[in-house]
């Protein structure tokens, strides 16, 4: 990520990175929907405190949880 920011001319100090889950699930597997949902209040509070101008969602857990709809098929 740091190299991508640098290539775009963005200073790392200008970026706040947060994760929807606050601990990795066993075996480093992708978090399940209920695990993502369990951490949402903490994440909401982070966003309120940081007051970002832009939020970028990465990976399907974040996107699915944010939009609360199933837009992914089994191949993604």
Each residue of 19-44: pLDDT tens digit? Answer: 888 888 899 888 888 888 888 889 88
User: How do the domains of the chain map onto residue ranges?
Assistant: 2-67
Helix/strand/coil for 15 = coil
Each residue of 43-69: pLDDT tens digit? Answer: 889 999 999 998 888 887 788 777 765
The overall average pLDDT reported for the chain is 83
pTM of the predicted model as reported, rounded to 2 decimal places: 0.69
69 and 33 Cβ atoms separated by less than 8 Å: no
What's the pLDDT at 76?
Answer: 45
- Give the H/E segment covering residue 59: none
């Amino acid at each position: 990520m740091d190299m991508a920011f640098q290539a775009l001319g963005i200073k790392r100090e200008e970026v706040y990175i947060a994760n929807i889950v606050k601990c990795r699930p066993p075996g480093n597997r992708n978090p399940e929907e209920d695990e993502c949902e369990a951490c949402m209040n903490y994440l909401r509070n982070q966003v309120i405190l940081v007051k970002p101008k832009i939020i970028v969602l990465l990976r399907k857990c974040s996107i699915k949880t944010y939009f609360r709809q199933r837009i992914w098929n089994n191949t993604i």
